């Protein structure tokens, strides 16, 4: 029997008359990968701990790309928390929801060469989960896709994670938020794919720079967790191949849900003062880590400069960026008008994400120098 412990058997319609249907089989017993199979070399996107054939991850928006020939490929998982989206060539994407510890075979692909991409769709910041790699029969592996010339990094909060973006209504339970989040369809990933850029989405819902939404988990603010390979683990992140030309930051949860409980700040004005100082230091540290990168701050609305507290904060951050020697530094005032805000807890809808991506692309297109000729 080719596959044992079958949990799921689905046929997907062909993308065209000439394309074969995909046969998708889930094996909860991990028996699909046999000794005569070989793992595929993988191009990894995002902050991922690579150990042999295993890929551990916590940050959202990570992805895995590989190439092979032949009519089937097996994906191995150990993840009860996340939804994934697999796409082979131009065939319809395959949803793999909370696969647990098991193998997923995608077959009936035809005998030619294929390219596969696996995206982590949901956010699982409280747990570390594992993708166990792609496997094919011996002799069917091809080299991994080459890294893209362009790289862009996003640092932020729930908007970047696609928080509850697939929800048809704002009222959501915690489980509904988890099930309806969609990072690959949020504005950050959409923008990166528009430029055919590799990307990192180092974002956590509800996290601010120095103060989280409602002052929750104060030890896990972005200024503290950003340097880590995984947000809740102490190991530092280090990858000499990650040299983004552009870094986009959106961190404004500091001002939401105030006061959430007895806090060290007496007013939002005090939060703004500390926020500005910390933001300046954060920008300087980013420049030290990535001196080649343009640093762009998703900022308050176009009229924000008339607010004296925001204007003072902007001056503080700009001064820190100038002293650090950031060559390309700017603010991107975002107007919240015209948004549907119909996703969970009034977050961006999928249409809002598309519009935000197009806005960000226009901002970047005005400065081709950001890409350093790439």
Enumerate the active-site residues.
158
358: enclosing H helix or E strand? helix 350-365
Q: 11 - beta bridge partners?
A: 23
CA distance 30 to 107: 16
Contact 39, 73 (CB under 8 A): no
Angle at 240 between CA 362 and CA 64, to 5 degrees: 65
- DSSP string of 91-120? SPPEEEE--EEEEEEEE---SSEEEEEEEE
Contacts 24+ apart (CB under 8 A), 308-314: 309/269, 309/272, 310/272, 312/272, 312/273, 312/276, 313/272, 313/273, 313/275, 313/276, 313/279, 314/276
CA distance 222 to 171: 27
- DSSP string of 268-279? HHHHHHHHHHHH
SS3 call for 245: coil
């Amino acid at each position: 029997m080719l596959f044992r412990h079958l949990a799921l058997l689905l046929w997907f319609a062909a993308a065209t008359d000439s394309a074969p249907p995909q046969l998708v089989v889930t094996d909860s017993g991990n028996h699909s990968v046999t000794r005569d199979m070989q793992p595929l070399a993988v191009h990894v996107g995002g902050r991922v701990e690579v150990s042999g054939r295993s890929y551990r991850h916590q940050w959202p928006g990570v992805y895995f790309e590989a190439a092979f020939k032949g009519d089937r490929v097996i994906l191995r998982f150990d993840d009860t928390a996340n939804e994934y989206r697999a796409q082979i060539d131009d065939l319809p994407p395959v949803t793999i929801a909370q696969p647990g510890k098991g193998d997923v075979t995608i077959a009936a692909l035809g005998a030619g060469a294929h390219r596969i991409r696996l995206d982590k769709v949901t956010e699982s910041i409280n747990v570390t989960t594992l993708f166990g790699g792609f496997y094919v029969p011996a002799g069917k592996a091809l080299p991994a896709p080459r890294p893209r010339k362009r790289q862009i990094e996003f640092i932020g909060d729930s908007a970047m994670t696609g928080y509850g973006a697939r929800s048809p209504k704002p009222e959501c339970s915690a489980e509904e938020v988890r099930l309806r989040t969609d990072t690959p369809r949020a504005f950050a990933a959409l923008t990166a794919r528009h430029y055919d850029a590799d990307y990192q989405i180092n974002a956590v819902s509800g996290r601010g720079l120095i103060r989280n939404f409602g002052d929750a988990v104060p030890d896990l603010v972005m200024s503290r967790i950003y340097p880590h390979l995984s947000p809740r683990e102490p190991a530092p992140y280090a990858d000499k191949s990650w040299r983004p030309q552009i870094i986009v930051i959106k961190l404004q949860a500091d001002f939401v849900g105030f006061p959430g409980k007895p806090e060290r700040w007496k007013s939002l004005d005090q939060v703004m003062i500390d926020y500005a100082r910390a933001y300046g230091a954060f920008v300087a540290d980013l420049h030290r880590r990535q001196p080649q990168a343009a640093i762009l701050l998703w900022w308050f609305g176009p009229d924000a400069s008339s607010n004296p507290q925001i204007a003072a904060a902007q001056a503080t951050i700009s001064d820190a960026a100038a002293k650090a020697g950031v060559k390309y530094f700017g603010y991107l005032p975002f107007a919240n008008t015209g948004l549907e805000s119909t996703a969970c807890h009034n977050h961006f809808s999928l249409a809002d994400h598309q519009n935000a991506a197009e806005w960000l692309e226009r901002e970047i297109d005005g400065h081709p120098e950001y890409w350093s000729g790439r």
